[in-house]
């Protein structure tokens, strides 16, 4: 099933569930908080388990790619990145772990400061689903080969769809141009 469709279905179902809950009852609020906390701990556990698998595999295969320029930082040319599969996967999983804590901070602000409880219900399933549908989970948990859509570097889903800027380039010609340009891959002090 398409993840976007299943996310939409889950959100619609969770909206209906949250409409039927009496958030004036402190017991209901307590159970909703427990469900959200449990979902956050399960998501974090999934990511930490994947991280331990990555460290155990210790795949030191070298990968090269040219990352797109960061327009916000004023960059006009992509930067050559030379890394290992292990280091790339660790960076990706660390971003996912940071995302869990960012979501936790946002939910904490919305629930504790702004007194919204509905988002806790919504966010009690989707983080687990996202963790299990991620590329690293498919490779390391479910044993799918790292080819096609799962080939590193992963294609980042753009917020703007087809209009969303450049993507990572892995073709030989682009990598050779970046290597000979003398800008990428050089240690700068």
pLDDT digits (tens, 9 = 90+) for 175-186: 777 777 765 454
pTM (2 d.p.): 0.84
CA distance to 64, 65, 68, 82, per residue, from 167 (Å): 14, 10, 6, 16
Instruction: Decide if 10 is inside a domain.
Output: yes
Count of structural domains within the chain: 1
Instruction: Decide if 73 is inside a domain.
Output: yes
Top-confidence residue, 8 or 46: 46
Instruction: Decide if 187 is inside a domain.
Output: no
Top-confidence residue, 62 or 69: 62
Report pLDDT for 163: 47
What average pLDDT does range 86-103 have in this prediction?
96
Q: What is the pLDDT of residues 109-159, one digit of tens each?
A: 999 989 888 888 888 888 999 999 999 999 999 999 999 889 998 887 655
Enclosing domain of residue 153: 3-159+170-181
User: Taking the mean position of all CA atoms in its chain, how far away is CA 156?
Assistant: 9
Instruction: Decide if 188 is inside a domain.
Output: no
Cα(36)–Cα(138) distance, rounded to whole angstroms?
24
Q: What percent of the chain has pLDDT over 90?
A: 49
| DSSP codes of every residue in 61-129 | -EEEEEEPP-GGGT--S-EEEEEEHHHHHHHHHHHHHHHHHHHHHHHHIIIIIT---HHHHHTTTHHHH
Report pLDDT for 43: 97
Are 85 and 76 in contact by the 8 Å Cβ rule? The answer is no
Round the average pLDDT of the chain to a whole number and report it.
85
Q: What is the pLDDT of residues 35-60, one digit of tens each?
A: 999 999 999 999 999 999 999 999 99
**Local structure of 169: helix, strand or coil:** strand
CA distance to 31, 131, 135, 186, 188, per residue, from 117 (Å): 11, 23, 31, 49, 48
Report pLDDT for 76: 74
Report pLDDT for 42: 97
């Amino acid at each position: 099933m398409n993840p976007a469709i299943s996310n939409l279905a889950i959100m619609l179902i969770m909206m209906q569930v949250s409409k039927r809950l009496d958030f004036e009852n402190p017991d209901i609020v307590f159970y909703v908080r427990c469900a959200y906390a449990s979902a956050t701990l399960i998501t974090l556990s999934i990511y930490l388990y994947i991280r331990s698998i990555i460290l155990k595999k210790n795949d030191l295969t070298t990968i090269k790619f040219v990352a797109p320029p960061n327009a916000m930082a004023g960059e006009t040319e992509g930067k050559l990145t030379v890394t290992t599969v292990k280091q790339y996967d660790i960076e990706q999983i660390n971003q996912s772990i940071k995302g869990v804590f960012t979501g936790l901070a946002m939910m904490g602000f919305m629930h504790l400061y702004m007194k919204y409880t509905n988002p806790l219900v919504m966010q009690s399933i989707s983080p687990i689903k996202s963790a299990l549908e991620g590329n690293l989970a498919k490779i390391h948990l479910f044993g799918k080969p790292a080819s096609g859509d799962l080939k590193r570097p992963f294609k980042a889903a753009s917020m703007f769809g087809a209009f969303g800027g450049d993507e990572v380039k892995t073709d030989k010609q682009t990598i050779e141009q970046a290597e000979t340009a003398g800008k990428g891959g050089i240690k700068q002090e």
